[in-house]
Structure 1
Amino acid sequence: MSPTTEDHSQTREIPGTVRLFAENGELLQSTVELIPKPSDDPEDPLNWSPRRKTVNLSCLIFYTFAVAVSATSLYSIYGPLSDAIGLTLDELNVGAGYSYWAIGISSCIIQPCAIAFGKRPIFILAALSGGLLFIWTNYISSNSLWILSRLLIGFSGGPSFSLVEIAITDVFFLHQRAFPLGLYVFVLYVGALVGPLLSGYIYEGMGWKAVVWFTTGLSLLATLVMVFGFEETNFTREEPSVALEVVPGSNHSLARLEGDRSSHGISLVPDTSVDESDSKSKDRNQDAVMVQPVAQRWIWPRVWQRSKVSPHAFGIIKRGIVQPFALMRLPIILWCGVMYGVYQVFFNLFGFLSSGVLTAPPYNFGTGATGLTFLSPLLGTIPSAIWGGWLCNIYSLRQARKNHGISKAEHKLKLYIIPTVLAPIGLLMMGLGPFYGAHWIVYVAGECILNLAGPLATLLIIAYAFDVFHSIDPDDSQGPKAAAQDCAPYLTAIIFIGMSVTFAFGYAITPWSFLWSFKLFGITAAIGVTALNASVLLIVWYGKTLRQNGEGYYRKVINW
């Protein structure tokens, strides 16, 4: 047996190991199974038409962008903001760290509430409250008020870090998720970088309070977008009335239900409009063709329909709050949480350091020019997040083909070599450049390189967690236990761990860089991230064992 060959009888039942391709002797079929299997209800979000799915995804993307802009819009004006409200740069940075800790707490509470009462009202309330709370920034006069305001704003922004991913998985199949998740990560990073860029110029033209009003207006616009465009994605899915089958076909063939196409959403019977022999001749050379439910006619988003309150609301909330903390003992969740936090910390470096580095000698940048430098990490985000999602899809499918149609969750993690190489290079440039007084382009280019690594690493971590845990269902397929699993407690646990890491580093970033010296900061950060990134090798080598050993405990927790 070759090293890449799996014992199918032993691997197919392990969470995170799934068959993406059917196998016929030595040949792999050119179809992909639908995971999860949709119901035969046309209102099942998995059965929505592509345009309807796109509208829903667009609303989520705009909401994420607005929240990300709000979270970082003050970064490039920390200097004048410090003078205006009488707080030091260190106090501003520590206060911002509290907002990330609040995001972790928020995820543990808001996530189950969204499953119990509907994702749509939670998104609308979060966007509205975030915009209104930001107005408070105009009236802050002490460090305690600054911390309290950041806590509340962070809590309202929690859904953008956890609930968006769940809403995406409500609508897209397993083999489709990498691109929309990559797009989500891209916008999360872009919004966080566009915020300081815009605020620098807004400040120069109208003052720092105008930045606050701009951010408030953007959040209120996101509220309107969610009100008029986003449909509820909560759906109680029963088993399909007819067993699903994977059927071979060419790149133009789709399976379909016999009978009226408008009343069903699932494809079952092969389309014979393409010559079968021609199809077989292309099986070896063509990439996977993804079998889709039959496309519906365009339906305007049904936003007037009220979200249904789950009859198991109390049980969902109780389990949704407790389960994430119980799951933190699993090694995979601990690893994903720490690595998620590490790259969140490095992303925050752009905001925490840039104003202090570039506005001081020898660079002496103004606020507008400082904000403009955020274009550098923004450019790094584009290939990392957008192409990263596409790369994950293509790479995992090709790895599955090589592995006799079996896809392992660790396949995607082999791409972690990219952030492992890039991250330390970017950190060294950001540390050694200012220390030696090098041209400002060294520091700015380092930001770009670091952000080539960050979004891809974040995407890989989230995708890995989904692959491992999202398909594990409790014994009760219709009650509060099943609904609580829809909260994705594994993701909530990861977010909480990651945001706690980010919060802790909020106390360390300023002394680590400005007081300790940028030379030591750059060297120690590069060594640290290399060591942490190398831990992915342990997950690649032993991930299957960890998944297998942890399944029993995970099932015990979600069946509580």
Structure 2
Amino acid sequence: MSVGELDVPGTARIYQEEGETVQNAVTLIPTPSKNPDDPLNWTRKRKYLMLSCVVFYTITATILSSDLYSVFDPLSDSTGLSLDQLNVGTGYLYLFIGVSTLISQPASLAFGKRPTYLVSAFGAALVNIWTAFAKGNSQWIASRLLLGFFISPSFTLVEVSIADVFFLHERSFPIGLYINFLFGGVSLGPILSGYIYEGVGWRAIIWLSTGLTVIMGIVLFFFLEETTFEREHDTLSSITSRNDAEVEQEENDPKTTDKGDKTTTSVQNEHSQSRRLESMDITDATPFTPTPWPGPRFWKFMKPHKHALGIMTRGFLQPLAMYRLPLIWWSGLMYATYQICFNLIAAISSGILAAPPYNFSTSAVGLTFLSPFLSAIPGSVYGGYITDKFVLRQAKKNHGIAEAEHKLKLYIIPAALCPIGLLMMGLGPYYGAHWIVYVLGCAIVNLIGPLATILTVSYVFDCYHPIRPKTEHGVQACAQDMAPYLLSTVLLAMVFTFGFNYVITPWCFGWGLRNFAISSALIITVINATVLVVLKWGKRLRRSGERHYRKIIDW
């Protein structure tokens, strides 16, 4: 492949090629600095401690957002709110998750990711307490809006934290683990709340979830490290390579691990407009020993950035300017589609299973969420692992070059399975089939939802994360590090999700389960078919959109 073919964001050389042979050395992207405090230079154990903290944060935030799903029917009787009002309140929750990322994400760069997580945790706990005393539809919606504001980092900041410490070729597995709990936590909340309600009432659900949130905040206070690191992006940069066996080896012994590390240097000649890669010369350099976890340093916080005001301003405006890019609209649509699929499970399960012919109790309805909870595990954890391996395999077949669209070939799995799951969820209850048909349909939908989300998030990261602004030492470079492309995607997805919550009840229960099942299967099939368009023209769209994206981040 010619050097010019690499001159597109989202196209990267993963393996070096000598003649006709592709070498088994993985190029580390992004390039780690020589600073031992660089999160890319952390040991594997230290990286996975950070991942454990943000995963715990994610599962707690999602439990807060869903812990009342399985008790919507008795909650409606107790509060006087209709089922439709409760579902619309959930829509406002997701709407404000999307809108609030325009504040929480730039704040994490201006003031640090660690304080942003802590404010999110303890703020969400306080709002959750208010939910127990909220009266009427206006206070219900207000509590949902504030909760959405405080838990918004769980949808965007975690992905950026993962990108801070993991290399390009190893991100899909940790992102898959995160998405597992993003979906799984939403399932776990209703499972627990059904039993809690029957024992001590619906307010006890709120007290217990608030206690869990406080515990999570304390864990983050002691064990979560700041991952923001100002890495230099000079025209003379170094690229580190490791053999496949060394990449997979755990860094239990730093001396052993570093023994096989190789550092190579590439020369990047910058074009006057686009700073594009022209040539690469590989040389050896001295590797650094991975830095282990230094122990709890709860007193250590990042100082406010000197460009904090500029970061906050750009962080709010830049994502809105991204909507000229077709790939942002596509990724937002795909993210929304599978978020909506799970919201659908949460919104209709109580109404279907608590009514004839099933007549489930509240605890039994909650127990059915065990099905999507368990199915999310292979879909996300193994989905992320398979995605990483699949990308490396595709790169080897493509002369060592990885294209962002390679992973989208795996969309064949959700495209085939999701319509089947939706048909089972609608036609099973319509024809009075055994309840297991509906529950297995939910399992299928939540099996492929995390995989589809992994593919979407990884794709938008691959397309836009490598693009650097002209100025590497000012507010422009800082604003790009906050991932405005991800904010655009999530905001768009949450707006779609918000709008959908207005139609769930009339679509499913008003129009009839049979019509709902057939129409939803057809709609999801058409949406999944758009992947074919991106597979064919995605690289062209990446190339044509680069100029506009650079214009935005160089503002």
Question: Aligned to 1:527, which of 516, 522, 525?
Answer: 522
User: Aligned ranges for residues 114-129 of structure 1 at < 5 Å?
Assistant: 114-129=108-123
User: What is residue 281 of structure 1 aligned with on the other side?
Assistant: none
**Is 1:141 aligned to residue 135 of structure 2?**
yes
Aligned equivalents of 1:387, 1:544: Cα separation in 2: 27
Change (3 A) 1:66 1:248: closer
Question: Aligned to 2:104, which of 99, 110, 114?
Answer: 110
Q: Please give the secondary structure, in 2, of the residue aligned with 1:124.
A: helix
User: What is residue 342 of structure 1 aligned with on the other side?
Assistant: 337
User: Aligned ranges for residues 122-521 of structure 1 at < 5 Å?
Assistant: 122-239=116-233, 244-245=238-239, 251=245, 267-268=261-262, 294-521=289-516
User: What is residue 542 of structure 1 aligned with on the other side?
Assistant: 537
User: What is residue 89 of structure 1 aligned with on the other side?
Assistant: 83
Post-superposition CA distance 1:44-73 (Å, at most 9, x none):
111111111111111000000000111100
Gaps of 5+ in 1: 1-6, 255-259, 271-290
Change (3 A) 1:297 1:94: closer
Aligned equivalents of 2:39, 2:246: Cα separation in 1: 24
| Alignment check: 8 A CA contact 2:91 2:501 kept | yes
| Alignment check: 8 A CA contact 1:327 1:333 kept | yes
Normalising by structure 1, we get a TM-score of: 0.91
User: What is residue 288 of structure 1 aligned with on the other side?
Assistant: none
| Alignment check: 8 A CA contact 2:26 2:243 kept | no
Q: Please give the secondary structure, in 2, of the residue aligned with 1:139.
A: coil
| Alignment check: 8 A CA contact 2:188 2:369 kept | yes
For 2:37, the aligned partner's letter is: E
Aligned equivalents of 1:131, 1:157: Cα separation in 2: 10
| Alignment check: 8 A CA contact 1:265 1:294 kept | no
Change (3 A) 1:550 1:252: closer
Aligned equivalents of 1:55, 1:30: Cα separation in 2: 29
Aligned equivalents of 2:170, 2:351: Cα separation in 1: 42
**Is 1:20 aligned to residue 7 of structure 2?**
no
After TM superposition, the structure 1 stretch with the greater mean CA deviation from structure 2, 51-60 or 460-469, is 51-60
After TM superposition, the structure 1 stretch with the greater mean CA deviation from structure 2, 333-342 or 301-310, is 301-310
Aligned equivalents of 1:367, 1:292: Cα separation in 2: 58
For 1:112, the aligned partner's letter is: P
| Alignment check: 8 A CA contact 1:41 1:265 kept | no
Q: Please give the secondary structure, in 1, of the residue aligned with 2:12.
A: strand
| Post-superposition offset of 1:236 | 0.7
* Displaced runs of 4 or more, over 6 A: none
| Alignment check: 8 A CA contact 1:409 1:464 kept | yes
Aligned equivalents of 1:191, 1:168: Cα separation in 2: 19
Aligned equivalents of 2:260, 2:171: Cα separation in 1: 19
| Post-superposition offset of 1:413 | 0.2
Aligned equivalents of 1:435, 1:58: Cα separation in 2: 42
Normalising by structure 2, we get a TM-score of: 0.92
Aligned equivalents of 1:348, 1:529: Cα separation in 2: 15
Question: Aligned to 1:101, which of 95, 100, 105?
Answer: 95
Post-superposition CA distance 1:223-245 (Å, at most 9, x none):
11111110111111125898535
Post-superposition CA distance 1:464-483 (Å, at most 9, x none):
00011001011111111011
Change (3 A) 1:250 1:537: closer
Number of aligned residue pairs: 529
| Alignment check: 8 A CA contact 2:31 2:240 kept | no
User: What is residue 41 of structure 1 aligned with on the other side?
Assistant: 35
User: What is residue 273 of structure 1 aligned with on the other side?
Assistant: none
| Post-superposition offset of 1:253 | 9.4
User: What is residue 278 of structure 2 aligned with on the other side?
Assistant: none
Aligned equivalents of 1:415, 1:482: Cα separation in 2: 33
For 2:424, the aligned partner's letter is: M
Change (3 A) 1:373 1:495: same
| Post-superposition offset of 1:251 | 3.3
Q: How many percent identity over aligned positions?
A: 50
| Alignment check: 8 A CA contact 2:122 2:214 kept | yes
For 2:118, the aligned partner's letter is: I
Change (3 A) 1:495 1:250: closer
Change (3 A) 1:502 1:239: closer
Aligned equivalents of 2:263, 2:182: Cα separation in 1: 40
After TM superposition, the structure 1 stretch with the greater mean CA deviation from structure 2, 443-452 or 400-409, is 443-452
For 1:457, the aligned partner's letter is: A
Aligned equivalents of 2:141, 2:402: Cα separation in 1: 45
| Alignment check: 8 A CA contact 1:42 1:265 kept | no
| Post-superposition offset of 1:213 | 0.4
For 2:214, the aligned partner's letter is: L
| Post-superposition offset of 1:293 | 5.9
User: What is residue 284 of structure 1 aligned with on the other side?
Assistant: none
| Post-superposition offset of 1:358 | 0.4
Change (3 A) 1:103 1:253: closer
Q: Please give the secondary structure, in 2, of the residue aligned with 1:30.
A: strand
Aligned equivalents of 1:481, 1:388: Cα separation in 2: 35
Aligned equivalents of 1:494, 1:529: Cα separation in 2: 19
Post-superposition CA distance 1:123-164 (Å, at most 9, x none):
000111111101112212211111111011011110000011
Change (3 A) 1:529 1:422: same
Q: Please give the secondary structure, in 2, of the residue aligned with 1:22.
A: strand
Aligned equivalents of 1:223, 1:246: Cα separation in 2: 36
Q: Please give the secondary structure, in 2, of the residue aligned with 1:23.
A: strand
Aligned equivalents of 1:198, 1:8: Cα separation in 2: 56
| Post-superposition offset of 1:10 | 2.4
For 1:403, the aligned partner's letter is: N
